[in-house]
Amino acid sequence: MTGPADPLVVATPGDREIVLSRLFDAPAHLVFAAFTRPELLVRWYGARGWRLVECEVDLRVGGRWRYVSQGPDGERMGQGGVYRAVEPPHRLVCTELFDDQSYPGETLVTHEFTELVGRTTVTTTLRYATAEGRDRVLRYPMTRGVGESFARLAELLHETTR
């Protein structure tokens, strides 16, 4: 059984990609829902101390999404993009651009949800516009934040599947 302490696996297969992977003890349709339904996203998305204060999801190809997170000191971080593929419960592809982004171009984000015996591996591939952008993100505490966020997701899924 997986739990909040399960590791986030991080790989850099190319000079513009970061691949994040984690196993969740829940079926793919529930994990997909957690990634796409605002009422669930607000319960887990964000690093420790951060929470979504705005969450808009127009879940269709060409639809837009927008999140605004608020940190412990009141700072805000906005991000958004457009859905490129919506294939429940297996695949979700969108662009991502932060309001105050420190690297050039949009990022292409691909989430794959692979279920095996009621457990789902989420594999997220982030493809940056440039190698320099990818390298800059790797210097940020992004992997810690995603790990903390995914731990919160695991707890939510555990509550949902009990």
pLDDT in tens, 117-130: 999 999 999 999 99
Q: What is the pTM of this model?
A: 0.93
| DSSP codes joined into one string, 111-154 | EEEEEETTEEEEEEEEE-SSHHHHHHHHHTTHHHHHHHHHHHHH
Tokens standing for 144?
A: 């810690």
- Taking residue 57's Cβ as centre, other Cβ atoms within 10 Å add up to 16
Span 38-55, pLDDT tens digits: 999 999 999 999 999 999
